[in-house]
Structure 1
Amino acid sequence: MDLWFETALLPTGWAERVTLRIESGRITEVSANTDPTPGAERHRVAIPGMGNVHSHGFQRGMAGLSERRGRPDDDFWSWREIMYRFLDRLTPDDIAAITAQAYVEMLETGYTRVGEFHYLHNDVDGARYADPAETAGAIVAAAEQTGIGLTLLPVFYAHSDFGGKDPKPGQRRFISDVDGFAKLVEASRARLPADAVLGVAPHSLRAVTPEELAAVTALTSGPLHIHAAEQVKEVEACQQWSGARPVEWLLHNADIGTRWTLIHATHLNDTETDRLARSGAVAGLCPVTEANLGDGIFPAERYLAAGGRIATGTDSNIQIDAAYELRSIEYSQRLSLRRRAILSPEGASVGETLFGAALAGAGQALGVATGIAPGAPADIVSLNMNHPSFAGASADTILDRWIFAGRAGAIDCVWRAGRLQVVRGKHRAGEVIANHYHKILERLLG
């Protein structure tokens, strides 16, 4: 199959009149300054599909349910209690239906692969399913139904707080021991489609002991993801337990490097910021969720200046939009520092800088090649250049227009592994999936 674009963003920059040859879901040839081959599909502007490095798919079903003030100090911890009550109702089929809706929205907004940080392993009473990968199978089903690429990250969760404290009743659907988790990982591996990637995710230093952290990260040669320093309370509790801050402790004790993605990493001091940047790990930023939960603002200016690697995630899936996540990273810095155009070199496009950094970081974090280049998956997004946001756009303003001025309808088509999943802004199975999602939510919340 050949695709032809008037303009395409390649690893070397914008190119004109680009032909892409696609075989078995991968790009085999990229040729610029070409005429369309016979039978080639013709489109206007192509950019690479983006990776979403952090999703809890089932939480899409509770979006908007926690926006009522319940106490004077509402924060992440009170939100978490609402989340525990919601997940207590979910069957594997419910998880699949809700996650599929989230994945449709990801594809429609430019995400073509997702890192599913999957911790809802057990039945409602806390007992393991007969098949340890029962709910992992629900995630795989959602990915296959929607066509999104999947990096599955089974989560190890054993404790309620630092120092190996016993889990709380609300956490019973998450809990594993090391042996049981090893079986879950292997059962999950057997469920994966051919181009999926398997990693593991120790949930956080609150939920694992140092010994468990070492044991579970040895279970795979794939990506390693962990929540770290999302909340001030978490940082203070870690200092009381260990004498060190969470990211400080990880940098000293966990051999943090290119396989690792630290999710959030919101509360860093300058030393942690610089050391994390030098480590080669990715900071998985979820600024829309972080704003919704009142987490705080990541020190992106210092971190990127020190050579740090970033990627974006949609986390709680309160609102799913790749451009919105990138925009929110920059806007959080502007609000904090009271300046503009912060996260790009002088004279460079902020949108292009952020997009390139997040694209590369997501590929590293999710264990896949990215970009419109030979050998990479044919994960491609075409922009709707008839959209008002692109009126008068030239190549050097396209990404700024999309990220900072775009809205619904700015994306035209999305190909995932060479398969057309989104046409004229709508997922091919979006209506069917949305109808099922409505029925599930009406039953769960009615």
Structure 2
Amino acid sequence: MRRLILDHALLPDGWAEHVGIDIEGGTIAAVHPNSASEGRERVAGIALPGLPNLHSHTFQRGMAGLAETRGPVGDSFWTWRQVMYRFLGSLTPDDVEAIAAFAMMEMLEGGFTALAEFHYLHHDADGRPYADIAELSGRIAAAARETGMGLTLLPVFYAQGGFGGAAPTEGQRRFVNDVESYARLLDGARKAVVGLDDAVVGIAPHSLRAVTPESLREVIAPAGEAPVHIHIAEQVKEVEDCLAWSGQRPVAWLLDHAPVDRRWCLIHATHLDAQEVEGIASSHAVAGLCPITEANLGDGIFEGADYLSRGGRFGVGSDSNIEISAPAELKQFEYSQRLKHRARNVLAEHEGQSTGRSLYDRALAGGAQALGRRIGAIAAGHRADLVVLDAAHPDLAAVSGDRWVDSYVFVAGKAVIDTVFVAGEAVVRNGRHVNREAIRARYSRAMARILS
């Protein structure tokens, strides 16, 4: 058993000092506020529960910055997607692992301690399955093992190129499976995570564009209690195309035709009407928001204030990994609402409440639910995932309590992160991952080859 003592810690019932935690098998066995320090390893600073990252495509970290040149016509998500297709065309399994490890390392340094990897890159550059159909899922698992990242692996089912069963395009050939090959992929992914502590494998129909109603029913039927994630209503064109195909908006169609409940995470859900806002909230599903990517792609602004006023659950993810920072995602979410409503502190729940604390608490709960794991709290029975802030940093030194979280989210950001624990093991010290140099060198070599 590992026995730590935290100078300050955010517990489920609030702030506490001199918090002893007993860790066994990576899980918190007991929490002792106002504990004596004898026989315990001191962790100096301000300990927060590690934030879950509920949506990422790690391979896209390698193309960050490559789509920031204006084209001859108006740029959009759809032109960005063509850049992405060209980039992934040359990726080898070694490249996928090197990029994933680098992205996970940056996530840990940026305040995320668990990841839901929405993994849709499955086959070789010609669209042929590898001898092991789950080869690239195995590379994601290997990157998690090397970095220490907690993992929910979401192999993606992608079968169509558009609504109504349109044929996939050439750029999508590395993604495509039918229902039978997807079942084999899932089996392979489950084998790939064996030995990864506390890993979960869920199910991820890519989007309503990429499945038919029949195949959607087939792939989610065996989900059981596993997480189910899906992209939905990210773009106006997607909404228009869904209306043309079905006569319904995407979220309305999904709520009417699928068993959406607390297992589900609806990624983006950017374009909603009032009935859809209420429908997601009342289903107890999680809205998976990726505010930095949604801003980068020009997706639009989520109906955050209305959704949260109805008790809606949310978490945040880094998606395209254009910038990897847990506090920055929360800040961008709040700032998007300030711009939309021309107001301040929009997402705090009541007068006098810290906005940073409100955002952080809700993203912890929603993220943990979406990942299907016992994470997101410094409490007995939860994984010992901690993000420890430097209490001596100038932006934290003169404040306390919830003001620490406000300064972390809105002012200093990830620069104040000192130590990060995953399952009780320190994977980041002094703000840097313990294997940073080796991971960075391998990533640099891979990118030099890819971009040459």
TM-score interval w.r.t. the shorter chain? over 0.9
- Comparing 186-195 with 359-368, greater Cα deviation is found at 186-195
**Secondary structure class of the residue paired with 1:112:** strand
How far has the Cα of 1:408 moved from its partner? 4.5
Residues 375, 408 of structure 1: alpha-carbon distance in 2 compared, 3 angstrom cutoff: closer
Q: Deviations over 1:210-242 (max 9, x none)?
A: 111011112322000000000000000000000
- The 5 A counterparts of 1:80-229 are 80-192=81-193, 193-221=196-224, 222-229=226-233
Q: TM-score, normalised by structure 1?
A: 0.99
**Secondary structure class of the residue paired with 1:307:** coil
Match of 2:365 in 1: 360
Pair 1:377-2:383 in alignment: yes
How far has the Cα of 1:15 moved from its partner? 1.1
- Residue pair 1:44, 1:385 contacting (<8 A) in 2 also: yes
In 1, the alpha carbon distance for the partners of 2:414 and 2:400 equals 20
Match of 1:70 in 2: 71
**Secondary structure class of the residue paired with 1:37:** coil
Q: Deviations over 1:401-439 (max 9, x none)?
A: 100001353001000011110001000001110111111
- Residue pair 1:57, 1:316 contacting (<8 A) in 2 also: yes
How far has the Cα of 1:39 moved from its partner? 4.0
Residues 407, 351 of structure 1: alpha-carbon distance in 2 compared, 3 angstrom cutoff: closer
Pair 1:295-2:299 in alignment: yes
- The count of corresponding residues between Structure 1 and Structure 2 is 446
Q: TM-score, normalised by structure 2?
A: 0.98
How far has the Cα of 1:42 moved from its partner? 3.1
Q: Aligned match of 1:429 in 416, 430, 435? A: 435
**Secondary structure class of the residue paired with 2:223:** coil
Q: Aligned match of 1:397 in 403, 411, 427? A: 403
In 2, the alpha carbon distance for the partners of 1:389 and 1:312 equals 24
How far has the Cα of 1:5 moved from its partner? 1.4
Gaps of 5+ in 2: none
How far has the Cα of 1:255 moved from its partner? 1.4
In 2, the alpha carbon distance for the partners of 1:42 and 1:303 equals 38
- What is the root-mean-square deviation in Å for CA atoms of aligned residues? 0.8
How far has the Cα of 1:195 moved from its partner? 1.1
- The 5 A counterparts of 1:313-328 are 313-328=317-332
**Secondary structure class of the residue paired with 1:406:** helix
- Residue pair 1:182, 1:219 contacting (<8 A) in 2 also: no
- Residue pair 1:387, 1:409 contacting (<8 A) in 2 also: no
In 2, the alpha carbon distance for the partners of 1:122 and 1:439 equals 22
Pair 1:245-2:249 in alignment: yes
Letter in 2 for 1:374: A
- The 5 A counterparts of 1:250-329 are 250-329=254-333
Match of 1:34 in 2: 35
Residues 32, 103 of structure 1: alpha-carbon distance in 2 compared, 3 angstrom cutoff: same
Gaps of 5+ in 1: none
- Residue pair 2:5, 2:40 contacting (<8 A) in 1 also: no
